[in-house]
A = this chain, B = another copy of it.
């Protein structure tokens, strides 16, 4: 109780200031997105939950009706942006060089480098990490938490911050449920407890399960953002 402030506490203090600076930049980004009528979705999950695969399927389903673009956040490699570009949709890789999350500064820089055309939907795929990206506002309209059924049905209560804050939770790899001891009802209950107003979708990028609902949700959010156009 009488501990002197230690290094860990100093880190927390400086992180608070960094979060405040991030918040100001995120609001600037948000104003810009609002002016252009761009819906912005921040996807957060563990490594290997299927964020890039979901985005490949999503942009393939939407690209003929909506102008989509993707910012890909990774510690290293250009692989994910290459996968999106192979779908005929503009993508830009943001390499954090070791950092465990995207922040508004990295998104500002990434957008300046990307020179995307005007977009209807900008997807931001965060670094694979279920913890650190949670606190960093990127100017998005909403956060999406992905949870692969392979990760187990105890994860929402073990990582409560992201599942409390994500407006949408997308269960991925749903086609594997029959082969796993994955209690979907238990996951739904945990998420409802953490976030009573959250949306919950079960998908499979392999079978296509839930992808129409997911794209419908995106269309509805875009229409809500610019009602005079929709």
Residues of A near any B CB (own CB < 8 A): 6-8, 10-11, 14-15, 17-18, 20-22, 46-48, 74-77, 79, 98, 100, 103, 105, 127-132, 148, 150-152, 154-155, 157-161, 173, 176, 179
B residues in contact with A8, CB < 8 Å? 18, 103, 105
Find out whether the CB atom of B48 lies under 8 angstroms from the CB atom of A128.
no
| Contacting residue for A155 out of B47, B130, B157, CB 8 A | B47
Expressed in whole angstroms, the Cα–Cα distance for A131 and B75 within the complex equals 9
B residues in contact with A131, CB < 8 Å? 75, 98, 100, 127, 129, 132
Find out whether the CB atom of B75 lies under 8 angstroms from the CB atom of A160.
yes
Known: A128-B159, A176-B179. 4 other contacts (CB 8 A): A7-B18, A7-B21, A47-B159, A76-B158
Find out whether the CB atom of B132 lies under 8 angstroms from the CB atom of A130.
no
B residues in contact with A18, CB < 8 Å? 7-8, 10-11
Residue of B nearest to A179 (CB): B179
Find out whether the CB atom of B76 lies under 8 angstroms from the CB atom of A155.
no
Q: A47-B46, A159-B75 are in contact. Are A10 and B14 (CB under 8 A)?
A: yes
Find out whether the CB atom of B98 lies under 8 angstroms from the CB atom of A130.
no
Cβ distance A145 to chain B, nearest Cβ, rounded Å:
12
11 A–B pairs (Cβ distance < 8 Å), ordered by A: A7-B14, A10-B14, A11-B11, A46-B130, A48-B152, A75-B161, A100-B131, A129-B131, A150-B173, A150-B176, A176-B179
B residues in contact with A17, CB < 8 Å? 7, 10
Expressed in whole angstroms, the Cα–Cα distance for A150 and B76 within the complex equals 20
Expressed in whole angstroms, the Cα–Cα distance for A176 and B105 within the complex equals 40
Q: A18-B10, A21-B6, A159-B128 are in contact. Are A48 and B150 (CB under 8 A)?
A: yes
B residues in contact with A128, CB < 8 Å? 46, 130, 158-159
B residues in contact with A127, CB < 8 Å? 131
Find out whether the CB atom of A48 lies under 8 angstroms from the CB atom of B155.
yes
Cβ distance A47 to chain B, nearest Cβ, rounded Å:
5
Residue of B nearest to A103 (CB): B8
Expressed in whole angstroms, the Cα–Cα distance for A157 and B78 within the complex equals 10
B residues in contact with A74, CB < 8 Å? 158
